[in-house]
């Protein structure tokens, strides 16, 4: 297809999970949210620092400017195989951690599985050069989908932060780890469906 989006089921799966991972990035501003907890105490410390730098939860990382910033970052990272590997490895680790069922996996197993999968999938993005357009689109779509999902909660999103109103369409009231996993799954499934339809 024109955008070179998918060549094989392997590519399709990788791209979809990458979108799910990108969809977790905005909540790195909160030490108790799943993305930070994927990296243990270091993740929590990092998230605390990001949260402070971003002016609090759902502020500096939850707006249009942050989305543009991530697009610029992804644009440049694509050129460096090592940068691509570290970036994708980290966000894929967050994705696997978040969607791994916590009910029958102990914390240690969740860490082992998510770190192992993050390293393996990061290596895949090191070794495979997916198209620049797809890389950029997938990461932006994941990030934007998170902001849209948060807009549907009571807290809403201030899209033009620090300007403009907090926009909320409160259809999904709850927040918490169950919702985080649900949003990640939704992004992955929508991405899969989209890629499969586009690749036909």
Provide the binding-site residues for Zn ion, judged by CB under 5 A. 26-27, 150
Instruction: Name the residue nearer to Zn ion (CB basis): 27 or 141.
Output: 27
Cβ at position 167, least distance to Zn ion in Å: 13
Q: How far is the CB of 192 from Zn ion (least distance, A)?
A: 22
83 vs 156 by CB, closer to Zn ion: 156
- CA dist 115 and 108 (Å) reads 10
User: Is 11 or 30 the residue whose CB approaches Zn ion more closely?
Assistant: 30
How far is residue 139 from each of residues 60, 92, 129, 131, measured CA to CA in Å? 18, 11, 15, 12
Query: Taking the complex as a whole, how short is the minimal distance between the CB of residue 183 and Zn ion, in angstroms?
Result: 9
For residues 178 and 8, give the distance between their C-alpha atoms in angstroms, rounded to a whole number. 31
CB of 49 to Zn ion, least distance (A): 17
Which string of DSSP letters, residue by residue, matches 109-138? HHHHHHHHHHHHHHHHHHH----HHHHHHH
Task: Report, in Å, the least distance between residue 70 CB and Zn ion.
Answer: 13
CA-nearest of 74, 67, 63, 61 to 30 is 61
**For residue 103, how many other CB atoms are within 10 A of its CB?**
4
Task: Give the nearer residue to Zn ion in terms of CB position, either 98 or 130.
Answer: 98
Beta partners for residue 157, in sequence order: 167
Q: Where are the alpha helices (DSSP H) in the chain?
A: 9-22, 34-37, 40-53, 64-77, 81-99, 107-127, 132-151, 177-199
Residue placing its CB nearer to Zn ion in the complex, 26 or 51 = 26
CB of 157 to Zn ion, least distance (A): 8
Closest CB to Zn ion among residues 85, 147: 147
């Amino acid at each position: 297809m024109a955008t070179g989006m998918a060549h094989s089921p392997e590519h399709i799966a990788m791209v979809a999970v990458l979108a799910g991972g990108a969809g977790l990035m905005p909540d790195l501003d909160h030490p108790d949210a799943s993305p930070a907890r994927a990296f243990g105490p270091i993740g929590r410390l990092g998230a605390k620092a990001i949260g402070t730098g971003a002016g609090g939860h759902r502020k500096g990382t939850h707006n249009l400017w942050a989305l543009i910033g991530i697009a610029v970052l992804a644009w440049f990272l694509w050129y460096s195989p090592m940068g691509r590997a570290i970036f994708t490895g980290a966000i894929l680790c967050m994705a696997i951690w978040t969607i791994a069922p916590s009910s029958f996996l102990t914390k240690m197993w969740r860490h082992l599985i998510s770190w192992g999968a993050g390293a393996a999938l990061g290596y895949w993005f090191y070794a495979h050069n997916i198209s620049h357009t797809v890389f950029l689109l997938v990461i932006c779509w994941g990030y934007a989908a998170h902001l849209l999902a948060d807009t549907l909660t009571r807290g809403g999103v201030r899209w033009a932060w620090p300007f403009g109103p907090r926009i909320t369409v409160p259809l999904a009231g709850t927040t918490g780890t169950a919702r985080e996993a649900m949003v990640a799954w939704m992004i992955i499934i929508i991405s899969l469906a989209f890629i499969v339809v586009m690749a036909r």
